[in-house]
Amino acid sequence: MRNTNQDVKTIYRKDYVAPGYWVDTVEMGFDLHPQRTHVATRLHMRRNHDSAEKDLILFGEDIQLHQLRLNGVDLKRSAYQRNKERLIISNAPDTVVLEIETSIAADKNTTMSGLYVSNGNFFTQCEAEGFRKITYFPDRPDVMATYTVMLRADKKQFPVLLSNGNLIEQGDLGDGRHYAKWEDPFKKPSYLFALVAGKLVCQEEKYRLKSGRKVLLQVWVEEGNLDKTQHAMDSLKNSIRWDEERFGLELDLDRFMIVATSDFNMGAMENKGLNIFNTKYVLANSRTATDADYAGIESVVGHEYFHNWTGNRVTCRDWFQLSLKEGLTVFRDQEFSGDLVGNATGRAVKRIEDVRILRQHQFPEDAGPMSHPVRPDSYAEINNFYTVTVYEKGSEVVRMYYTLLGHEGFRKGMDLYFQRHDGQAVTCDDFRAAMADANGRDLSQFERWYSQAGTPRVKADGEYDAKRHVYRLKLSQACPATAGQDHKLPFHIPFAMGLLQQDGSEFALQLESGKAHPQAPRSIILELTQETQEFEFHHIEHEPTPSLLRNFSAPVILDFDYSDAQLAHLLAHDSDAFCRWEAGQRLAMRRLLKLVKSVQNGEALALDDMFVEALRKTLVDANLDPAFRELVMTLPSEVMLAEEMEIADPHSIHQARRFVRASLAQALKAEFLSVYQDHLTPGKYKPDAVSAGKRALKNCALSYLLEWSHESTYELAYTQYFEAENMTDKVAALSAMLHCSSALQPQYQARRAEVLQDFFDEFQHEALVIDKWFSLQACAPSTDVKQIRQLMKHKAFSLANPNRARSLIFAFCNANPAQFHAADGSAYELWGDAVIALNKLNPQVAARLARSLDRWTKYPVAQQEMMRAALQRVATTKGLSKDVAEIVNKALA
Ligand code: 0A1
Ligand code: ZN
């Protein structure tokens, strides 16, 4: 059934054809003026005799073409074909020098793709297909060339002129203008091109590489922000060191620059030698940034830096291979953050956080209308495929190689990958082949992780044979049908596991019978490759408690019929921190789902002592890492609960979760209080994982204490808010005051208003903090759609700034389900208004927001009808971008 009147053209992976022409060198001259930037480009091209494409095809979008010259001769209008997207020259000679003159109105560009102006400065964003908004070009990642770039601009207005690579010349032009010439010695695809021009200042440092070579590191920001660049600089130095040590990869340029802009569609961009970042992932000091912000900066700085090898030196043949660079680079940044913590529990905490993100965002994506394989087969708009599947599931796929091949084996695979493919544009198959060949392994079945969408389920059944002292584990796998893929073939699943004894220690795991081997490992990785397999463990003296899918060794859903007692045993003893945490989550999930039913049936709610006791033990266990304890005390989110239900019921979910939090607060108030007191971190703020873990636990305790509605606890948050010397504690207090049960009580209204106003007044000139101010309100359970509309009228709100739009509208639509799904459908209307308004300004951001209704078929019929109507309204809007059209069409299909 077609529900809409706007179909968009689909591009298929199977249709890949190599480019008809290669580009060896690109020379560009920019005359930068915000209203009209003139661009002169010279391309040295040569025919690719291996290609079926005979024409010379260039892409171009929203640019004025002034002149086109081929081998020195002006091309007449009849010598080429041109439409809105392409320029095609037929019968071109084998060697071509093409000169192109174009112009751009960067100040009118609100899409933040191509060349645009933010706060008076010029920036570019060329991934995925933004370069074609600057000049006509074979804008596809398999066309790799070296670039020389001349920038000219008014010296006063644009004192800083940056592009990729090395600065080779600069000077004055007279008439108040100046120039800078940049040369990037490395071949790159056009999506890695960048320029920045404007009034910026930098923190810089000479840094010595392991090899002894000195490089220049710079972090560029707007004036007034130099007090917030140190952490980004430290993170960059840590990243450089880490890639040398862990993968033997050295920075290949003499200069590496990071530039921050407050107008950016995504987190950051890995342009060669000139990374452009969202300010959110650069700027931090203790007054304005939280522990989470510090951690985010570290991982994004790492991520972009690691792309220099995984993405830039070796890039993607076509955009279907996006996960080749993104999955691998996410894996690398996750490992980097884990290694930096420097201890096993810290690593485990990081792992749990990453799994939580995967489950919260990727599992729902894989179960919804946008479900796609890690390597998609088709797309209408590639920007819609920068997804949690390509990134986070892609990283899990890379992690599975790591798990199967081991530390050394994985490194061998990486070495071979660079040996074979440095300077090339390749595919996910090439990566898999390098991993297999370097280790003499057959990884052909592993291909299915790239080609089959959906989250596999692994069902485990255990049986203990007391006579033979054998524990038999049966594993079966299945994967639900997804769009266009009805039948799935079995995956190659690394399944890590152990068996716990009654005293909490682990059995030696021996898969063969015969003599007992007490030295056998206590944790092993089974390889599940068939639909069903059985494994027998010998010399198991009593019935064990299985610890399954250790460290979340594969991105699957595990079904095992655990008893409560078994889960409590795992929570108390498992040596695998992931499974230990998971046991607590299972205990909680079970209760929450039952309570949701009770809410729906109007029954009295009750929480059992066994659960409270299991959590109490973890909460007060001083031998456990505070960060880990905080993770255990955090209940599964409302989004995760909705995913577990046949028909989601956000209001009952909210009430049930609230009830569990309040009951825990009531039962454990003494414990929460002493945990709170014991984890204060006085003295100078430090963002390291240990201090951050203490703050996380302390603030978790505070938020529980406020569920127990009592004057004294509200007072505690109020005091913490005013006395906090860092943003983590300040925002945690404010969040607790807005989000907990007490927040709903009228007697606290005045104080809530007071702190909100105080926060705004103090930080009104700190854009990133004002984003928090909007977000906190957008996610508060008491904030309804009317208040959101009110906040949209606030003088500090702007839909045009992606961070601000995300802080209010996305936060409300994605993270406040009970209000977003208000019975009258009024929030869906708000969603539609915002998507339609954003569609005109910034299609990429609009398409992201459009995804908030992805799961609409999961709700009761009455809600579904209203959501469908909202989707249809968007789908039939005139002038819909292909970004938004693809999303809503898929939702309605
Ligand atoms: N490659 C970047 C993410 C990125 C992707 C697309 C963008 O614009 C459409 C911008 C950034 C990364 O993985 O960090
Ligand atoms: Zn990336």
The predicted-structure confidence for 662-694, as pLDDT tens digits, reads as follows: 999 999 999 999 999 999 988 999 999 999 999
> For residue 544, is pLDDT > 70?
yes
Considering only CA atoms, which residue is closest to atom 13 of ligand 1? Answer: 326
* Residues that place a CB less than 5 A from ion ligand 2: 326, 329
How buried is 31 (Cβ within 10 angstroms: 0-12 exposed, 13-18 middle, 19+ buried)? middle
270 lines ligand 1 (CB under 6 A): yes
Question: Ligand 1, from 111, 139, 386: best to mutate by most atoms within 8 Å of Cβ?
Answer: 386
| 809 Cα–ligand 2 center, Å | 25
381 lines ligand 1 (CB under 6 A): no
Per-residue pLDDT band at 2 (split at 50, 70, 90): very low
d(CA 164, CA 148): 9
Q: Which ligand is nearest to the CA of 128?
A: 1
| 155 Cα–ligand 2 center, Å | 33
d(CA 737, CA 753): 10
**Token couple for 130:** 């933004």
449: left (phi over 0), alpha (psi -120 to 50) or beta: alpha
The residue-averaged pLDDT of 165-179 equals: 97
pLDDT tens, 190-199? 999 999 999 9
The residue-averaged pLDDT of 276-304 equals: 99
| 374 Cα–ligand 1 center, Å | 16
- Assess contact for 754 and 799: CB atoms under 8 A: no
The number of the ligand 1 atom at minimal distance from the alpha carbon of 125 is 8
303 lines ligand 1 (CB under 6 A): yes
Angstrom distances, CA of residue 278 to CA of 105, 202, 340: 22, 16, 23
30 lines ligand 1 (CB under 6 A): no
Out of 99, 127, 270, 304, pick the active-site residue. 304
> For residue 3, is pLDDT > 50?
no
List of residues 6+ apart from 513 with CB closer than 8 A:
470, 536, 538
Residue identified by tokens 């660049």 is: 229
Minimum mean pLDDT range among 29-38, 220-229, 713-722: 713-722
What integer best gives the mean pLDDT of the chain? 97
pLDDT tens, 193-244? 999 999 999 999 999 999 999 999 999 999 999 999 999 999 999 999 999 9
| 492 Cα–ligand 1 center, Å | 30
328 lines ligand 1 (CB under 6 A): no
Considering only CA atoms, which residue is closest to atom 4 of ligand 1? Answer: 269
Question: Ligand 1, from 261, 266, 330, 333: best to mutate by most atoms within 8 Å of Cβ?
Answer: 266
| 322 Cα–ligand 2 center, Å | 9
- Assess contact for 719 and 676: CB atoms under 8 A: no
For position 6, what pLDDT does the model report?
Answer: 63
| 216 Cα–ligand 1 center, Å | 24
pLDDT tens, 294-339? 999 999 999 999 999 999 999 999 999 999 999 999 999 999 999 9
384 lines ligand 1 (CB under 6 A): no
List of residues 6+ apart from 372 with CB closer than 8 A:
385, 387, 389, 453
For position 745, what pLDDT does the model report?
Answer: 78
Considering only CA atoms, which residue is closest to atom 5 of ligand 1? Answer: 127
> For residue 708, is pLDDT > 90?
no
The residue-averaged pLDDT of 430-456 equals: 98
The 3-state DSSP composition of the chain as helix, strand, coil percent (nearest 5) reads 45, 20, 30
Considering only CA atoms, which residue is closest to atom 2 of ligand 1? Answer: 269
d(CA 330, CA 527): 24
386 lines ligand 1 (CB under 6 A): yes
Considering only CA atoms, which residue is closest to atom 6 of ligand 1? Answer: 127
Question: Ligand 1, from 191, 192, 269: best to mutate by most atoms within 8 Å of Cβ?
Answer: 269
127 lines ligand 1 (CB under 6 A): yes
192 lines ligand 1 (CB under 6 A): no
| 323 Cα–ligand 2 center, Å | 9
Active site residue 603: no
Angstrom distances, CA of residue 838 to CA of 708, 778, 816: 41, 18, 21
Q: pLDDT: is 33 or 744 the higher one?
A: 33
Angstrom distances, CA of residue 877 to CA of 4, 323, 351, 871: 9, 32, 43, 10
310 lines ligand 1 (CB under 6 A): no
| 759 Cα–ligand 1 center, Å | 32
383 lines ligand 1 (CB under 6 A): yes
pTM beyond 0.90: the answer is yes
883 lines ligand 1 (CB under 6 A): no
125 lines ligand 1 (CB under 6 A): yes
- Determine what percent of the chain is predicted with pLDDT higher than 70: 99
| 407 Cα–ligand 1 center, Å | 29
d(CA 469, CA 543): 8
The residue-averaged pLDDT of 431-440 equals: 99
The residue-averaged pLDDT of 807-823 equals: 98
Considering only CA atoms, which residue is closest to atom 11 of ligand 1? Answer: 269
